[in-house]
Homo-oligomer: A and B are copies of this chain.
Amino acid sequence: MSRSNQMFKATVNVALSHVARMVPGADLGSEATLARDWQASRTTVRNVLTHLAGAGVILWEGRCKRLLRVPVASDYFPQTDVESTEDQAEQRFLEWMMRCELPPGSVLHESDLSRQLSLSVGVVRALLQRFQPMGLFEKNPNKHWVLHGFTRRFAAEMFAMRRLIETDAISAVLGAAQGSVVMQEMAHMERLHIALLARDDPAMAEFPALDSQFHRCICRAADNRFFDEFSQRISVIVHYHYQWNKRDEVARNRAALHEHLAVIRAVLEGRKEDARQAFAAHLDTARATLMASVSW
């Protein structure tokens, strides 16, 4: 079979929310402009226009593209059709990884997984390959995969690496000048942290994203792609891990926010030694929290 038309459907939805802000009768502009605005190729734009004309949302004749009626909910494709297949795949795959009860050392078959996750074998293979270098899986040539999994050891090694990198990165942060991009980002992070603490949301749904943002922001100061890459990897892993280990979640997250804030404020006020110590302390509690939540 051929590739999916997820791009087409997604662009239809983008187009609909775009024209929803216009009044009937207004002109949509040129195809090239639309392609830029909707982030798609002209080919896709033209397919979308054909679709919208067929649905009676617009009138399209040559260079005349006019809005006929404001779109309604039923014009849109459902959200599930629109999400990029890659993202969906990664999500399903990592969720499976984190909830899976298999002991380390279990053998995995691509075909098996592909059935369980309803993903094509090719996609499963790409995911396994992607997470292989981290040591979550191993592969014997011509043979099956072996699950190493998210073990205590994995967590410990990951954290050793994190400490190394982020301790180096925090020095870069402290070396940044007042008013530099890094400092602006830190000031922004302070506002976000205060806002989240004030919200007093019992679920703290936005904590994981903010946590990841905080650590990435620090790593970025080192201006090293390898730091960034590692930081991203950690975020993904930790995120999915905590999704299935919600014990003491709220208390844990509030404590982390306060620790972040202590670091941010010390940085902003130029108290370098305080910043270093606060950050080291944060890494310690983060490590302890993570290790306590790993079962194997």
A: residues with CB less than 8 A from B are 7, 84, 86, 126, 129-130, 133-135, 141-142, 154, 157-158, 160-161, 164-165, 168, 222-227, 229-230
> In the complex the two chains form, what is the Cα distance from A138 to B154 in whole Å?
28
Q: Across the interface, name the chain B residue whose C-beta is closest to A7.
A: B142
Q: Do the beta carbons of A226 and B141 come within 8 Å of each other?
A: no
Which single member of B84, B130, B134, B168 contacts A141 (CB below 8 Å)?
B84
A3: nearest residue on chain B (CB-CB)? B142
A161's contact among B86, B129, B158, B224, by CB below 8 Å, is which? B224
Contacts of A133 in B (CB 8 A): 133, 229
Q: Which chain B residues lie closer than 8 Å to A224 at the CB level? A: 157, 160-161
Known: A7-B142, A141-B84, A141-B86. A161 touches B126 (CB 8 A): no
Contact yes or no, A229 B157, CB < 8 A: no
Across the interface, name the chain B residue whose C-beta is closest to A84: B141
Write out the residue numbers on chain B whose beta carbons fall within 8 Å of the beta carbon of A7.
142
Q: List 23 A-B contacts (CB under 8 A).
A: A86-B141, A126-B129, A129-B129, A129-B130, A133-B229, A134-B225, A134-B226, A134-B229, A135-B225, A135-B226, A135-B229, A157-B223, A157-B225, A158-B226, A160-B222, A160-B224, A160-B226, A161-B224, A161-B226, A161-B227, A164-B164, A164-B168, A226-B230
